[in-house]
Amino acid sequence: MAFQYNHYYEIYNGGKYVNLNGDHENNVVNNGEKVTMYARTNNPDQRWALERYGSDNQVRIVLQRGGGWYALNYNTENTNCIVWHLNSAA
């Protein structure tokens, strides 16, 4: 599937760990394990999109939360964004 800009996609909830359904035994994703993302759910809080922004048409991931769309930013605390951190697999 080729992803398109400004179209939303939905992520499948695999159970214990939200948004992940992979080829592993305990629903924990470790380094090197394959994770399969699906594109159908009825939960609007799991929608995401690729969005172009800025004068140079950069691309970012935005997630839907409630009634709004928020940029996914790494280790920042900006208004209207969802902050994420990289955690190492134990």
Report residues of the chain scoring pLDDT below 70. 1-46, 66, 74-90
CA dihedral 41, 46, 47, 49 (to 10 degrees): -130
Q: Report the pLDDT value the prediction gives residue 79, as an integer from 0 to 100.
A: 62
pTM for this prediction = 0.41
How crowded is the C-beta side of 31, counted as CA atoms within 13 Å?
Answer: 5
